[in-house]
Structure 1
Amino acid sequence: MNNAMPVTQHVMVTSPHYLASMVGARILEQGGNAFDAAVAVSAALGVVYPHMTGVGGDAFFMLYKAKSKELIGFNGTGRAAARADVAYFANKGLSSIPLRGALSAITVPGMVDAWWEVWSVNGKLTWEQVLAPAVQYADEGFPVSPNLYDWICRDEELIRQNAEMARVFMPGGAIPLPGETLVQRDMAQTLRLLQKGGRDAFYQGEIMERIVADAERNDGLLGKADFNSHAGRWVEPISTEYRDYRIYQMPPNSQGFTALMMMNMLERHDLGAISRHSADYYHLMTEVVKKAFLQRDLYLTDPEFADIPLHRLLSKEFANHLAEGISFEKAGAHLSPAMGQDTAYAAVVDEEGNGVSFIQSLYFDFGSCYMPGGTGIIMQNRGSFFSLDPQHINCLLPGKLTFHTLMPAMVFKDGLPYLLFGTQGGEGQPQTQLSIMTSVLDYGCTIQEAIANPRWVYGRTWGQVSDSLKVEGRVSEKEVRMLRKKGHNVERVGDWDWIMGQAQGILIDRDKGCLNGAADPRGDGMAVGW
């Protein structure tokens, strides 16, 4: 059931796939730092965890530099193609952007540029060394994990609709069983081109040429100019105080500010007087989620295209105003738009005290389910979340960043990193972060206990029309009845259900001089260190 929680003194790596965690450990053993290891883990995840992330996706990195005591973020998300606008889709008779296929891949992947920036500014090893483990797993193969097998089975029909996808993930026409070796030779070649040519191989060179040529053959919108002009952004994380801690999140276009709003509302309450496993706890968490999501859905988009009033949204006064509208007896209502939930979060802390909290995604499972021929790259469908309503805050415009669910986090204690954490799951990301933070900061749980605690998720993903409150089966029937009595549309799911996502975390215990790492027992992850 529960993964063993390693406690170490020098370094710690945690990710949603055990092979990627070991890659991070190998890089640190070779003399790399946390920034080298983070990029290596990120690249390896794109190979061994391809249903959730890859070269064709986006990423956010939050970096703590121990020497300068600086915390900085990198927004590695891509903009909409220059030809992507509302009129284009309207002329095709479409009222929404397709969820799959080449026409859903309308934003430039920001992953490779993020790797390059994080490594080139902070790394110690060579670029070739950092990407070498990912090349090896792509070229020589790796054992299919249970989670990857499950997702190939779930998406079999979609995968078979794209010949390149089917060739890679169903070699010989059959789904590879857990433990069987999956080889990705085209991806290995793409990674070798990156080793040789750096980021420019992706945004200026041969890889870009292949993607654009294939897009042109398949009614896609991404062009050379879109790749040539791409540049990620170094940003300052946003934060709030919560009791004796400071919580950091990425600024918009990330939804990270919603978790800060939620914690501001919760600060009014003595959570220690509310059992972590009670209906009152799940009710309160769900209600602050609804309040924050209402504001998120009103404002979140590319901050270069709209005014997002973060100062007001993150103020304690506004939190008090929102919290006053919460009833402990009756559930409120808010229906957010359905969104994808498939992501990979990882974290690294090295011997110097540097730390990286990072997250990456293709948006949906297997992204757009579109793979440009000969590249091995699954293109993300992140841009499918743009609205085609001209009045909508997240309306599609050329060169615009979309509302982004990704949100890596850190908590500081006494001015230093204390907790690095994050999770998979679109709507579920701020909610699982809420579970982890309250479990550790208010209930005194270890990071492994916090991740293993029974979870909930309010909202919906694609294909769902209701805003049910899903709770894991370990929540007692008595508490479920009480939640229903309060007006929640409760759906009980599995005891350790995949819909709750997969969280990872590292807790830095400076009093004891140790690092505590944790990976989610709901997935294939592992925390490792020494």
Structure 2
Amino acid sequence: MRRPTALSRLVLTVLALALPFTAPFEAAAADRITGEPFATRSEVYAPHAMAATSHPLATQIALDVMKDGGSAVDAAIAANAALGLMEPTGNGIGGDLFAIVWDPKTGKLHGYNGSGRSPKSLTLDEFRRRGLAAVPPHGPLPVSVPGTVDGWFALHGRFGRRPMAENLAPAIRYAREGHPVHQTIAYYWDRSVPVLSKWPGFAEQFTVDDGRGGRRAPRTGEMWRNPNLADTLQQIADGGRDAFYKGGIARTIDAYFKASDGFLSYEDLASHEGEWVEPVSTNYRGYDVWELPPNGQGIAALQILNILEGYDLKGYGFGSPEHVHLFTEAKKLAFADRAASYADPDHYRTPVERLVSKAYAAERRRLISMDRAMKAAEPGVIPQLNEGDTIYLTVADPDGMMVSLIQSNYRGMGSGMAPPGLGFILQDRGEQFVLKEGHPNSYAPGKRPFHTIIPAFVTKDGKPWLSFGVMGGAMQPQGHAQILINMIDFGMNLQEAGDAPRIQHDGSTEPAGQNIAMADGGELDLETGFPYATVRELMRRGHSVRFAHGPYGGYQAIMVNPEGGYVGASESRKDGQAAGY
């Protein structure tokens, strides 16, 4: 992320204070005949099924699977497998997976936590011996067990209709025959190569010959093939989940880490199990918003919404100083609890019921001043210890099943650790641990780290209304809340709600690293499109406003059309597509 210089900050501040106040977005809708000022395109409507992913080819794969009789879960697995090939900058079978599934037969939501645990042989003392104050972002130390493949088979075992070999076949074919790399993916791939090429197996498997004796990332439109990944996926198609966790793939990973000063072992892989979990909800102005409980950060979105429900956001208007200020302050309060209390439930019992209650939101709301930005935010619940980059996709099938699925290697392309001949990179999710004792998210062997990736779902009067997600680290709960505020408070349609300029607050105390507390109010990133008068007023209230390129997330969504079928929307900031039939 490129930060502004001290001079550019001074110029920005002077200009902001000098400009007169004007009504936000006075003529924003003039260029669009339908009247939605922010929508980059129309919503997608389809009578039978819908898929929205961050890559058009993956979207088409999902639709093909459903046309052939597959369920939404079959389609989501097929699309996810393809995205691991086509968008390795955000996901792959070396990462973790979370999902929420609406089952029309039972009229219930089902949650799945497919996060892996830290190596059993790696201890907190080992980090100390190496003189580390935080888990490094790359290399062998941040690698935890990848939970994606297990997640696929768990979801398929309950909701799949087609053989898994058929679900994986499109990704295998594209891996062997090749596909053209899309623009945004090529951009992030190029940024990752200089950082990750030092780790064994990465350059050999994720770069191409530059013609001058060096290696580079594939470019936009260039055909990319990954025969190693094709072979790995074929092994999984033939041998099931155990081919990954207990077969030759696991043994290759084990040998690779032993040779690379690492700790992930065959035993770690063989003992892995994900788990079905109950989604957690709050009601926001008549809509039940569902997230998964920790070790993920989903309930932060619920906390933000609960706090904001006490304000007349509709009356203030989108892009007003009050809208942005209140959202930012609510985020700070929710993230203070996130840093203090979100952790592996096997090691720490997060007080979820209290954190998402309306009474607790009322307590926290009293800490917000309309006139001044808070510089520090303390958690409202003090932990009592006891003996704990990304892709998002959503699919809906003709029978009414809907899947909200998110999957990630964490930091872009992950740790850089790419075992020979396997065609994928292991995640660096372990970077999210805290290397000090006494914290709920403190590192321990065999423990799940705090997780950023979160799927979301909304029901209305007990029926499915919206399956959606916004990928992007700490942006995710902020993005979830903003999408719903845009739709429910500001009356935007599904596409416009995602395309409207976004708010991102950065600098809150994190549940990871050295866990340094926010003391300066953090930084407020405003995407292009907010009125300058709003920027000026936010500065007067004490916010530190900056410009940032790219940290605003990636949105996909499917909504139930009350007239029949589905409505789809896809992120304008990514390479994706919403489509149906």
1:141 aligns with 2:201: no
Give the match's secondary structure for 1:344. Answer: strand
Q: Distance in 1 between matches of 2:439 and 2:573?
A: 36
> Aligned equivalents of 1:357 and 1:281: distance in 2?
28
Aligned equivalent of 2:579? 528
Q: Give the structure 1 partner of residue 410 of structure 2.
A: 363
Q: State the match for 2:17 in structure 1.
A: none
| Deviation of 1:514 (Å) | 3.6
Cα deviation, residue 355, structure 1: 0.4
3-state SS of 1:405 partner: coil
Deviations 1:41-97 (A, max 9, x none): 111111101010000000101001001112111100001110122111112222222
Cα drift, residue 446 of structure 1: 0.8
Instruction: Select 2:117's aligned residue among 79, 82, 95.
Output: 79
> By how many angstroms is 1:333 displaced?
2.5
CA distances 1:285-337 after superposition (whole Å, capped 9, x unpaired): 1111001001111101101111211121111110000011111111112489x
| Greater Rg over alpha carbons, structure | 2
Which residue is 1:431 aligned to? 478
Task: Establish whether residue 389 from structure 1 lines up as the match of residue 440 from structure 2.
Answer: no
Query: Displacement of 1:4 after TM fit?
Result: 3.8
Instruction: Give yes or no for contact 2:98–2:115 (8 Å, CA) kept in 1.
Output: yes
Asked if the contact 2:44–2:568 (Cα under 8 Å) also holds between the matched residues in 1, the reply is yes
Aligned to 2:193: 156
Structure 1 segment 203-214 matched on structure 2, within 5 A: 203-214=245-256
Answering whether residue 328 of structure 2 is matched by residue 301 of structure 1, we say no
1:179-328 alignment, distance < 5 Å: 179-328=221-370
Q: Does 1:420 align with 2:470?
A: no
Shift of 1:242: 1.4
Give 1:65's aligned residue. Answer: 103
Rate the CA distance shift 1:248–1:166 in 2: closer, same or farther, 3 A. same
Q: Is the 8 A contact 1:193 1:201 kept in 2?
A: yes
- In 1, Cα distance between the equivalents of 2:419 and 2:403? 31
Counterpart in the other structure of 2:497: 450
Structure 1 residue 153, shift from structure 2 partner: 1.9
Given that residues 197 and 416 in structure 2 are in contact (C-alpha distance below 8 angstroms), is that contact kept between their aligned partners in structure 1? no
Please tell me whether the aligned partners of residues 116 and 147 of structure 2 are also in contact (alpha carbons under 8 angstroms): yes
C-alpha displacement of 1:163: 4.9
Alignment check: 8 A CA contact 1:32 1:124 kept:
yes
Q: Does 1:476 align with 2:513?
A: no
Residue in 1 that maps onto 2:426: 379
2:220 pairs with 1:178:
yes
User: Residue 561 of structure 2 is aligned with which of 503, 506, 509?
Assistant: 509
Rate the CA distance shift 1:311–1:410 in 2: closer, same or farther, 3 A. same
Q: What letter is aligned with 2:346? A: E
Q: CA deviation at 1:476?
A: 1.7
Residue 155 of structure 1 and its aligned partner are, at CA, apart by: 1.9
Deviations, residues 452-478 of structure 1 (Å, cap 9, x unaligned): 011011115999998211001211211
TM norm structure 1: 0.95
Q: From 148, 173, 182, give the equivalent of 1:111.
A: 148
Q: How many residues align?
A: 520
Picking from 346, 363, 366, the partner of 2:393 is 346
Match for residue 550 of structure 2? 498
Whichever residue aligns with residue 250 of structure 1, its letter is L
Counterpart residue number, 2:22? none
Give the secondary-structure state (helix, strand or coil) at the position aligned to 2:394: strand
Q: Deviations over 1:400-453 (max 9, x none)?
A: 111111111011012111011111111100111111001111222111000001
After TM superposition, give the deviation of residue 102 of structure 1 in Å.
1.8
Render the CA deviation track for 1:126-160: whole Å, top value 9, x for unaligned.
11001111111211111111112111221231233
Inter-partner Cα distance in structure 1 for 2:449 and 2:216: 36
Q: Which residue identity is paired with 2:75?
A: A
CA offset at residue 175 of structure 1? 2.9
Partner of 1:339: none
Structure 1 partner of 2:168: 131
- Contact 1:55 1:112 (C-alpha < 8 Å) held by counterparts: yes
**AA of the residue aligned to 1:331:** A
Q: Which residue of 2 aligns with 1:30?
A: 68
Distance 1:163 1:402, change over 3 A: closer
Identity percentage over the alignment? 37
Distance between the aligned counterparts of 1:270 and 1:92, measured in 2?
Answer: 52
TM-score (norm 2): 0.87
C-alpha distance in 1 between matches for 2:362 and 2:400: 36
Match of 2:80 in 1: 42
* 3-state SS, counterpart of residue 441 of structure 1: helix
Is contact 1:3-1:518 (8 Å) kept?
no
CA positional deviation for 1:280? 1.2
Provide the secondary structure at the position in 2 that maps to 1:517: strand
Letter in 2 for 1:491: R
Asked if 2 retains the 8 angstrom alpha-carbon contact of 1:169 and 1:182, the reply is: no
RMSD over aligned CA atoms reads: 1.7
Q: Does 1:91 align with 2:142?
A: no
CA–CA distance in structure 1, aligned partners of residues 311 and 564 of structure 2: 31
Aligned pair partner of 1:55 in 93, 97, 102: 93
Q: Evaluate the alpha carbon distance shift between residue 449 and residue 90 of structure 1 in structure 2; reply closer, same or farther with a 3 A threshold.
A: same
Q: Measure the CA separation in 2 of the matches of 1:170 and 1:225.
A: 31
Mapped to 2, the partners of 1:97 and 1:295 lie a distance apart of 22
CA distance in 1, matches of 2:451, 2:468: 18
SS across alignment from 2:539: helix
For 1:313 and 1:515, the matched residues in 2 are separated by: 33
Q: 2: distance between equivalents of 1:367 and 1:427?
A: 16
Q: CA deviation at 1:239?
A: 0.6
The amino acid that maps onto 2:575 is: D
* Aligned partners of 1:168 and 1:183 also within 8 Å: no
Which deviates the most, 12-21 or 148-157? 148-157
- Which of 33, 48, 63 is equivalent to 1:10? 48
Aligned match of 1:401 in 423, 448, 472?
448
Task: For 2:81 and 2:193, locate their aligned partners in 1 and report how far apart those are by CA, in whole Å.
Answer: 25
Aligned to 2:36: none
Question: Is the deviation greater in 206-215 or in 165-174?
Answer: 165-174
- Alignment-derived partner of residue 15 in structure 2: none
Describe the superposition over 1:173-207 as per-residue Cα deviations: whole angstroms up to 9, x where unpaired.
23322001011111111101000111001110011
Q: 2: CA distance between counterparts of 1:247 and 1:9? A: 25
CA distance in 2, matches of 1:403, 1:3: 36
Answer whether contact 2:333 2:377 (CA < 8 A) is retained: no
- The amino acid across from 2:101 in the alignment is L
